């Protein structure tokens, strides 16, 4: 069946579901039914994505001999990125990278409207990228897919922006829950990473979606935890110093990962040619995977090996290090340092994936390396001879890196506990996650997802004032009914304009509509009732510079700051070339703020 036929069947199915849900139900009931449907569709798409990745990877690499390197590692990633590039360019015809950042942007500026193609485009693109070796995770694409399902259902029922935002959160929660079989982590992810304001009325739909998606995953994969883990050493109080130090290490590794990714992404951003971006990404990625096959794909195989005491030979298969167990820490240390470049090369070159899996991968390696060094004597130098379990520290490190990179300590704690069934390790998971978060927060106030939007003032946060100013758009509060005048206009004509106007301030522009200044009614009040002076003065005689000028792309947070600094009541707005567009008034901004706050706060 061709894509058109599949698309037609999908439309018919969704229309049938829509008619069934509408029925004779209240909006609250409709939201709960939609959250249930979002959970089902998100769970199914999660299964499809994981299935495609595993099948592609198995098809390509199942015949590789463990003791030898394989030159195909140089080729497969490039093929995957190329296919993804062509798919995005000729079929999707849009940008599908940075999935979680796109959701944050949609919630902040796009009224939670996500393009419908993300329900399937991210799945196909990420399956090809990761299956062929792209060193990224499938979680961000599937989170974008889940959010797209929530957004699409919300748009079908013409639900208000806040409810639409909740459904986007439901889709994201269902994605995390389904892909990891971790319903609590999915719920907390929406709270911490997407920064959705939770209330009692919004909690139930999120839970419905999370549980439904998990049940779909149980139907396909069983109820066992995602990672097979057997606790060999229970938590004791004397390993707390080691957990604190590991938390600091995880925070610093998170900082290295974040800063290095931003730096390398900057290099790709400076390259204008898509071909050159592809070549750079393919060469860097292929080379790294050839020498370090552990970077192939998501890396979950390596995590399973490390937390189940696999031999060094299993971990170093297909590498130049194979056959020498003493090189294990060197090998893992190099992977720890270079993984960020493999991940950035994948996305920068044209692939599709996220940093969820790389964070878990690096965290497990960081925890394992730390435990080995601690047990070899580092712990003794710090005043403790307590042995720490390398496999346990692998779990602690996963929680620590997720907490640091994503600024999500609760997500890290609950996700690792649910992923492995390691609920007996809650206390050390908490210690490492919190210390890691506190460490990186000294240097980076925002997560790797949010920092791009925060720099542009487009990040929606739990701070109500900042959230409202982010939701408001400058164009929505700009007033354009001010009468503009020229500087050489005679006072007599200007008085005529004043008589017809209901404004007390007038923008002064040149022949090209560029703003030159402003004239207030107060400045001409003493002259306007003396006709004998009309021929002696022009508008330019009364013109003054405005206290501040607003740019059309300024955020409302910046606008509010300029009003606060200048104590002005009206400020002009211009475009990048200085052309006059309108005015924003302090009273108008305050009124819009109050109206939005009421809508934002209503349950």
Buried (b) or exposed (e) across 89-114, using 16+ Cβ within 10 A? Answer: eeebeeebbbbbbbbbbbbbbebbbb
Whether 8 maps to a domain, the answer reads no
- Do 441 and 308 lie in one domain? The reply is yes
pLDDT computed for residue 98 by the predictor: 65
Do 435 and 568 fall within a single domain? no
| Same domain assignment for residues 371 and 403 | yes
Q: Per DSSP, what are the bridge partners of residue 505?
A: 520
At residue 570, φ and ψ (nearest 5 deg) are: -140, 140
**CATH number of the CATH domain containing 187:** 1.10.3080.10
Same-domain pairing of 430 and 511: no
Residue 410 and residue 315 share a domain: yes
**Residue 435 shares a structural domain with residue 488:** no
Q: Cβ(247)–Cβ(436) under 8 Å?
A: yes
Q: Which domain holds residue 167?
A: 26-221
Query: Does residue 603 surpass a pLDDT of 50?
Result: no
Q: How many domains are there within the chain?
A: 3
Terminal-residue alpha carbon distance, the chain: 45
Q: What is the pLDDT of residues 23-32, one digit of tens each?
A: 666 778 888 8
Question: What's the mean per-residue pLDDT of the chain?
Answer: 83
Query: Is 112 in the same domain as 178?
Result: yes
Helices (DSSP H) in 292-445: which residue ranges? 300-306, 312-315, 328-348, 356-373, 379-381, 390-406, 409-420, 426-441
On whether both 46 and 164 belong to a single domain, the answer is yes
For residue 1, tell me if it sits in a domain. no
pLDDT in tens, 182-200: 999 999 988 887 766 666 6
Q: Is 461 inside any structural domain?
A: no
The CATH number of the domain holding residue 497 is 3.10.580.10
Task: Write down the pLDDT at residue 1.
Answer: 47
Output 475 or 133, whichever has higher pLDDT. Answer: 133
My answer on whether 428 and 567 are in the same domain is no
What would the pLDDT profile of 256-290 be if each residue is shown by its tens digit?
A: 999 999 899 889 989 989 999 999 999 999 999 99
Q: Please indicate, yes or no, whether residues 472 and 582 belong to a single structural domain of this protein.
A: yes
Q: How would residue 76 be classed by pLDDT, with cut points 50, 70 and 90? A: very high
Q: What pTM value is reported for the model?
A: 0.75
Give the total residue count for the chain: 603
Q: Do 212 and 263 sit in the same domain of this protein?
A: no
Q: Is residue 533 part of a domain?
A: yes
DSSP 340-353: HHHHHHHHHTT---
Q: Distance from CA of residue 76 to its chain's centroid?
A: 28
pLDDT digits (tens, 9 = 90+) for 328-387: 899 999 999 999 999 999 999 988 888 889 999 999 999 999 999 988 876 555 545 577
Instruction: Provide the pLDDT for residue 410.
Output: 93
Give the separation between CA 211 and CA 203, rounded to whole angstroms. 12
Q: What is the pLDDT of residue 462?
A: 46
Residues 470 and 450 in one domain: no
pLDDT at 602: 47
């Amino acid at each position: 069946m061709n894509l058109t036929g599949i698309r037609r069947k999908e439309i018919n199915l969704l229309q049938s579901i829509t008619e069934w849900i509408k029925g004779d139900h209240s909006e609250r009931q409709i939201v709960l039914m939609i959250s249930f449907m979002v959970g089902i569709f998100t769970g199914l798409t999660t299964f499809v994505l994981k299935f495609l990745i595993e099948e592609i990877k198995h098809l390509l690499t199942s015949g590789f001999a463990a003791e030898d390197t394989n030159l195909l590692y140089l080729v497969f990633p490039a093929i995957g990125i190329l296919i993804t590039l062509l798919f995005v360019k000729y079929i999707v015809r849009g940008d599908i990278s940075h999935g979680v950042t796109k959701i944050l942007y949609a919630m902040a500026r796009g009224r939670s409207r996500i393009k419908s193609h993300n329900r399937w485009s991210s799945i196909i693109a990420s399956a090809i990228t990761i299956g062929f070796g792209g060193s990224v995770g499938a979680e961000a694409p599937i989170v974008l897919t889940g959010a797209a399902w929530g957004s699409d259902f919300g748009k079908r029922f013409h639900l208000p922006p806040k409810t639409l935002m909740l459904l986007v959160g439901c889709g994201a929660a269902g994605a995390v829950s389904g892909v990891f079989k971790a319903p609590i982590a999915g719920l907390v992810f929406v709270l911490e990473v997407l920064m959705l304001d939770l209330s009692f009325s919004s909690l139930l739909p999120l839970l419905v979606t999370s549980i439904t998606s998990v049940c779909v995953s149980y139907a396909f994969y069983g109820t066992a935890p995602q990672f097979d883990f057997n606790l060999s050493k229970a938590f004791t109080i004397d390993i707390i110093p080691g957990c604190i130090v590991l938390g600091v290490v995880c925070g610093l590794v998170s900082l290295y990962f974040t800063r290095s990714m931003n730096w390398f992404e900057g290099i790709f951003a400076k390259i204008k040619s898509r071909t050159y971006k592809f070549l750079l990404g393919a060469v860097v990625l292929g080379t790294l995977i050839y020498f370090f096959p552990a970077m192939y794909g998501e890396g979950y195989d390596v995590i399973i090996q490390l937390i189940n005491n696999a031999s060094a030979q299993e971990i170093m298969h297909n590498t130049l290090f194979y056959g020498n167990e003493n090189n294990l820490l060197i090998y893992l240390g190099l992977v720890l340092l270079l993984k960020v470049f493999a991940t950035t090369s994948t996305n920068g070159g044209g692939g599709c994936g996220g940093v969820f899996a790389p964070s878990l991968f690096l965290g497990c390696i960081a925890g394992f390396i730390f435990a080995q060094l601690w047990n070899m004597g580092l712990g003794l130098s710090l005043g403790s001879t307590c042995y720490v379990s390398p496999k346990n520290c692998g779990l602690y490190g996963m929680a620590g890196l997720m907490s640091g990179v994503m600024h999500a300590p609760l997500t890290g704690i609950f996700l690792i506990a649910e992923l492995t069934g390691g609920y007996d390790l809650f206390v050390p998971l908490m210690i490492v996650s919190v210390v890691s978060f506190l460490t990186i927060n000294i240097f980076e106030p925002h997560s790797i997802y949010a920092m791009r939007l925060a720099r542009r003032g487009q990040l929606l946060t739990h701070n109500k004032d900042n959230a409202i100013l982010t939701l408001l758009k400058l164009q929505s509060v700009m007033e354009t009914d001010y009468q503009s005048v020229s500087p050489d206009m005679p006072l007599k004509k200007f008085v005529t304009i004043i008589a017809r106007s209901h404004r007390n301030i007038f923008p002064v522009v040149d022949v090209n509509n560029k703003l030159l200044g402003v004239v207030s009614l107060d400045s001409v009040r003493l002259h306007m009732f003396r006709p004998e002076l009309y021929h002696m003065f022009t508008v330019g005689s009364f013109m003054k510079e405005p206290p501040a000028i607003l740019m059309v792309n300024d955020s409302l947070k910046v606008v509010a700051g300029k009003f606060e600094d200048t104590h002005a009541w009206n400020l002009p707005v211009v475009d990048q070339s200085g052309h006059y567009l309108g005015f924003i008034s302090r009273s108008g901004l305050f009124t819009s703020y109050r109206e939005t706050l009421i809508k934002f706060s209503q349950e």
